[in-house]
Chain A
Amino acid sequence: MKHRPIRLAATLALTALAALTLGTAHGKTLRFADQGDAISMDPHSLNETLQLTFTGAVYEPLVLRDRKLAVTPGLATDWKQASPTSWQFKLRRGVTFHDGQPFTADDVVFSIGRANDPGGDMRGYVGQIKEVRKLDDYTVEMVTTVPLPILPEMLTGVYMMSRAWCEANGAAKPVDKRKGQENIASVRANGTGPYRLRAREPGVRTVLVRNQNYWDKVDGNVTEVVFTPIGNDATRVAALKSGEIDLMQPVPIQDVERLKQDPNLRIMQGPELRTIFLGMDSKRDELLFSSVKGKNPFKDKRVRQAFFQAIDIEAIRTRIMRNAATPTNLMIAPGVNGFDAALNKRLPYDVEAARKLLAEAGYPNGFEVKMNCPNDRYVNDGEICQAVAAMLARVGVKINLEAESKATYFPKVLSRNTSFYLLGWTPATYDAHNVMYNIMATPQAGQGVFNLGSYSNPKFDELTARVGSETDQARRSAMIAEAMKLHAEDFGHIPLHQQALAWGMRKNVEVVQLADNFVFFKWITIR
């Protein structure tokens, strides 16, 4: 009897030791931090990079991207365009969801339908799919409303869920952040991906572990991912310096130079495909949040142009972004298919011209309008908005700035409860059509889901449709250029800049950095 506690302690110690050695023998834990949280684990609820990065470790699309951003087979092994408006996908056999159920054509039919639900956020990618037909258990056919040569690219962000699991758990519809409708898919997950969701504490900590039954070989050695959102820049930097985390993004740009000197750290920078821009409600007859009553100043092109010219983009680049940004006149970045350098010339910053335009439009003393802005989504987003507010004050426009966390910001602007906002966009297809279709074209059906100010130009819409189905590269590029020019001359949005990527990591962490800022845990190796 007397020996029992000792024996117990010894057993415990041995078990602990065994667990420890097992842990080191089989792989490593990656502690990852971002300035914000992935708002939900539901892969169809929010079309945002971090959200798709994170859920992309658990769920997978039919078509994946490789390290050079080229499309590569994912849950589909093969695809072909059977007719101009139909695509056939051969599905991968032998893939199981984390709960052990096999992945079949039924799940694809279900997932595409789910992603196309108005409550979700992925309609920009699947809105033009009229019907998904199951040909057999491992073949599906997708019929599109218009010829869609870029459908495989569009599907890289649409993740496959298990029909049985979703229906059994009451998650057949996506989590609707706009209406605040949650379901179990927000906190639990059942995908086919290389990682399974082990623990989820929203806003605090999310833990992933390696899926031992994954269909593909995993190059990295990360078997566990602990993700912590750390909103405060200094705290995030401190956590990296002290070794509390292994990898974080973004590195606050004011700290990049100093952190580069740290022998334990590595900073990886690169151009990002994301364009940061301002949008204005140009549809409503009266703005929701403005001193102007009875009319909408943003309907007047002169007002939009005045806003554009009032912004000192060089000051933002040098002062707020510390040169880690490229000012742009286009809604797409160099590197996105369709970018035309000849069109990328901004109208000069000119306070006098802006004042004059406002006076001509009937606002010689300016007006008041509320601006919505996230402060934990893009690089120095809150600071950019403050600077914009100050610059607009000089032409007489009083901005009531509401800068807040993306958890409250996104539901607000996505339900178009805004008059003036800041947003960023990376085309998931690396193609201009994605931006035109999602951000710039008139909102209807799946189109213009992120055109939150409802800029509308029928000519532009027509070009968007034609670009979507055109296969001749030269003709297509010409149409993109024409559309971009149209939009720029209309000041449909106010593009600001493309921000730069900055990831910070411990020296022993090897990552693959992509220009779309996706972080793939499966490619990370910890030495």
Chain B
Amino acid sequence: MTTTALGRFLDGDVFHSFRNSPVAIVAAVVAGILILGAVLAPWISPHNPFDLKTLDLNNSLIPPAWVEQGNPAYPLGTDDQGRDVLSTILYGSRISLLVGVASVVLAMGLGIGLGLLSGYLGGRLDAFIMRVADVQLSFPAILIALLINGVARAALPRDTDIDTMALGVLIGSIALANWVQYARTVRGSTMVEKNREYVQAARVIGVSPLTIMVRHVLPNVLGPVLVIATINIATAIITEATLSFLGVGVPPTSPSLGTMINTGNNFLYSGEWWLVVFPGAALVLLCMSVNLLGDWLRDALNPKLQ
């Protein structure tokens, strides 16, 4: 018997369920390849599309290598600015993943914190937080993200570096649009857990409410939150793509998948199909595999299904 964390994980139910789910394995492999590609982009991609110095307009709109007039130096062709499509997808996925993961972590932190407070303390604070959540739930997330995005851009000082600002604003606005789900889930579970004997026992021996929340309640409500988070990564990536598609996302000189699809969309009628097909496929694959993983995780963590 191994006692390391990894050993326990490999012996546990979750990994067992993973090994027996071909869908999960395929999804994990696809997601793994895409994530690795994104993380390793600076080392493996043939060009650096974000380095404007290397772009040459005279290399624009070259079709994929296997098509007539293709150039093997650009396996998936080039876009209207002469950027290698493959490299841009790799670099663009970095932005998409960064925004996706960062905004989910932020939303999760915010949601868990507010959910714990709301569920554990109850009373007016609970009512207030939940009414805010209700109001926010009545708007589509993309609308809220657009709103926050617009306000933040207008409010930030004008000499803020726009590259970092755009990313920060994107992450912040997507996170603020998505915290409600976490808060709701955590609040529900917390309300159940806080009446359990172990919490009452802790309270009796004088443990502070904060410690109870963080040390005792939180670990027991985390399961469903992880499931939501996994699925939400895909949603957040799509929200980023949508915002970039609408032109309020990242600057056009450092395109994400959404920006690429937006550019490609302009060429739909003129025959340059590779501009939209490849980044589109990458976005679909990334989101689908992450989603399938989330689905599997939900089943694996659900005791009723075991």
Inter-chain CA distance A405–B248, complex, in Å, is 10
Among A233, A370, A394, the residue within 8 A (CB) of B53 is: A394
- Given that A289-B159, A312-B57, A315-B57 are known contacts, is A254 also in contact with B267, CB under 8 Å in the complex? yes
CB of B159 within 8 A of CB of A390, answer no
Among B58, B82, B251, B269, the residue within 8 A (CB) of A402 is: B251
**Does B147 make an interface contact (CB < 8 A)?**
no
Q: Chain A's nearest CB lies how many Å from the CB of B18? A: 42
The 10 closest A-B pairs by CB, nearest first: A393-B52, A254-B270, A315-B57, A233-B266, A390-B55, A390-B52, A234-B268, A393-B53, A319-B57, A319-B60
CB of A404 within 8 A of CB of B81, answer no
**Does B265 make an interface contact (CB < 8 A)?**
yes
Contact residues in B for A319 (Cβ distance below 8 Å)? 57-58, 60-61, 80, 82
CB of A288 within 8 A of CB of B159, answer yes
In chain B, what residue has the closest Cβ to A257? B270
Indicate the size class of the contact surface on chain A.
35 or more
CB of B266 within 8 A of CB of A401, answer no
Among A259, A387, A398, A405, the residue within 8 A (CB) of B57 is: A387
CB pairs A–B below 8 angstroms (6 shown): A252-B266, A319-B61, A386-B81, A387-B57, A403-B247, A405-B247
CB of A404 within 8 A of CB of B247, answer yes
**Does B193 make an interface contact (CB < 8 A)?**
no
**Does B304 make an interface contact (CB < 8 A)?**
no
CB of A370 within 8 A of CB of B57, answer no
A-B contact count (CB 8 A): 91
CB of A401 within 8 A of CB of B252, answer yes
**Does A316 make an interface contact (CB < 8 A)?**
yes
Q: Is the interface of A mostly helix, strand, loop or mixed?
A: helix
Inter-chain CA distance A288–B157, complex, in Å, is 11
Identify 5 new A-B residue pairs, CB closer than 8 A, beyond the known A238-B269, A316-B57, A370-B162: A234-B266, A258-B271, A312-B57, A319-B82, A375-B247
Inter-chain CA distance A401–B162, complex, in Å, is 8
Q: Is the interface of B mostly helix, strand, loop or mixed?
A: loop
**Does A399 make an interface contact (CB < 8 A)?**
yes
Among B58, B252, B268, B271, the residue within 8 A (CB) of A386 is: B252
**Does B68 make an interface contact (CB < 8 A)?**
no
Among A254, A389, A400, A417, the residue within 8 A (CB) of B272 is: A254
**Does A255 make an interface contact (CB < 8 A)?**
yes
Q: Chain B's nearest CB lies how many Å from the CB of A242? A: 12
In chain A, what residue has the closest Cβ to B267? A254
**Does B197 make an interface contact (CB < 8 A)?**
no
CB of A254 within 8 A of CB of B266, answer yes
In chain B, what residue has the closest Cβ to A387? B57
**Does A382 make an interface contact (CB < 8 A)?**
yes
CB of A252 within 8 A of CB of B270, answer yes
Q: Chain A's nearest CB lies how many Å from the CB of B72? A: 21
Inter-chain CA distance A375–B163, complex, in Å, is 18
Among B80, B162, B251, B271, the residue within 8 A (CB) of A383 is: B80
Q: Which of B159, B162, B267, B268 has the most CB of A within 10 A?
A: B268
Inter-chain CA distance A400–B163, complex, in Å, is 8
CB of B162 within 8 A of CB of A400, answer yes
Inter-chain CA distance A315–B247, complex, in Å, is 25
Among B51, B58, B265, the residue within 8 A (CB) of A232 is: B265
CB of B266 within 8 A of CB of A232, answer yes
- Given that A394-B53, A399-B253, A404-B247 are known contacts, is A289 also in contact with B266, CB under 8 Å in the complex? no
